Amino acid sequence: MNVFRRKELKFLIDEEQRRMIEEVLRQRMIPDRYGKSTICNLYYDTADFRLIRRSLEKPVYKEKLRLRSYGVASPDTDMFLELKKKYKGVVYKRRISMTEADAYAFIVQGKPPDEDSQIAREMLYFRNYYPTLEPRVYLCYEREAWYDPEDNGFRMTLDRNIRYRMDDLSLSSPVGGRELLLPEQSLLEVKAEGAIPMWLTELLSRHRIWKQSFSKYGRAYEEMLREKLQEERGYRYV
């Protein structure tokens, strides 16, 4: 699928909660085509981080652009360039396949993509609206992804070892970076086109797992600001 429209709910969970959820998922859902995988992302933004700063203000509408690979890529590996928008709590995602070099030529240098589609035209409009975009943050994490065999629009993912860096911004470079979460923490994401199943609502409530706002890119940006502030004050970043 290259077009998505759904709600996304996020939950930070500990190791005990993760084991419990994994057991339930094995009984009710099926691993998706990537199963367990390493997700690598490059987030594009302006030099002053205009996109993520606006996103953290929690506006009614926000958008971001990223390039994603599943595992460390090679220069000629096809990846997914994804335009992600959120309006009134609903997430809309468009994506097309291209190499990292083609994505750079398109987003940074302004060379239109070879693909002529509605999605490509949306991305071209986005790129022209923000003409100074460039890779700003690398993010990677280990993911387990599951889907409901009776409802392909309902998915759940578990992410751990979420790491980021502001240098070596290439998806063909080895994974690595600073950790965003505590070692025992994971990020649970629930993605649904319709209503959340009652069994999941009851499960989360019973184990006191509460929804919260969490953006990987947003948290990385906040950590970058914290590091910069510490350096200005003469502290060593830990």
pLDDT digit string (tens) for 151-206?
A: 888 999 999 999 999 999 999 999 999 999 999 999 999 999 988 999 999 999 99
Residue % of the chain over a pLDDT of 90: 83
| pLDDT band of 4, cuts 50, 70, 90 | confident
Whether the predicted model's global pTM rises above the 0.85 cut: yes
Q: Which of 140, 143, 139, 151 is nearest to 34 (CA)?
A: 143
In this prediction, residue 235 carries a pLDDT of 61
Give me the pLDDT at residue 2, please. Answer: 75
In this structure, the dihedral spanned by the alpha carbons of residues 70, 12, 61 and 91, taken in order and rounded to 10 degrees, is 50
**Rounded average pLDDT over 141-160:** 94
Domains in the chain, CATH or no CATH each: 3-232 (3.20.100.30)
More confident residue, 117 or 18: 18
Q: What is d(CA 157, CA 119) in angstroms, rounded to the nearest whole number? A: 25
pLDDT band at residue 236, thresholds of 50, 70 and 90? low
What are 156's strand-pairing partners? 146, 190
Average pLDDT, the chain: 92
Q: What is the pLDDT of residue 47?
A: 95
Comparing CA positions, the residue from 61, 42, 7, 29 lying closest to residue 136 is: 42
User: What is the reported pLDDT for 167?
Assistant: 95
With b meaning 16 or more CB within 10 Å and e meaning fewer, what string describes 50-62?
ebbeebbeeeeeb
